[in-house]
Amino acid sequence: MAGAKNALTTADLIIVGLEADSKESATRMLAERMVATGRVTDIEGYLEDVRLREAQMDTGLPGGIGIPHARSAHVTRPTVAIGTSVRGVDFGAHDGPAHLIFLIGAPDGSDDAHLHILAALARKLVHEDFRQSLRDAADAHQIAAIISKEVKP
């Protein structure tokens, strides 16, 4: 299906019950999904771009959200990999760990693509009912469906 191929996220890019001790390990697990689906060509290069972006400012947001992101020459198309974590992962938010983690990647030449994705996602994430729907989702397919329906960059 062409729509799924071009979707921001698919079930293959989602980890329900992500178990990670650090933002680096959570980011790596999600980036591995991006590589496996052909959306990232070089995991180390992409993770370095994410680390450089994270060094500028923490990407933890209030409400249990982590949004590591980067433009990168190693990203083939705008993508969001998602992890849900019961224990949570520290992304530097003042109110505690992230239970919903969104790893956003955009191709290097698409200066505003990742900003549009970030903005569209942020507009939805301010709503507790949207965050709760993602936390309550039964599986990766349900999360992908929610994101595809609700997040329009």
Q: Across 1-153, where does the E strand assignment appear?
A: 14-16, 60-61, 65-66, 69-72, 79-89, 98-107
DSSP secondary structure letter of residue 112 = T
DSSP secondary structure letter of residue 12 = G
Identify the active-site residue in 69, 74, 99, 114. Answer: 69
- Please report, for the chain, the start and end positions of each structural domain, with discontinuous segments joined by +: 2-150
Q: What is the value of pTM for the model shown?
A: 0.92
Tell me the pLDDT tens digit for each residue of 27-74.
999 999 999 999 999 999 999 999 999 999 999 999 999 999 998 999
Q: Assess contact for 112 and 41: CB atoms under 8 A.
A: no
Is residue 141 among the annotated active site residues? Answer: no
DSSP secondary structure letter of residue 75 = B
Residue 78 has pLDDT above 50, yes or no: yes
Fold classification of 2-150 (topology level) = Mannitol-specific EII; Chain A (3.40.930)
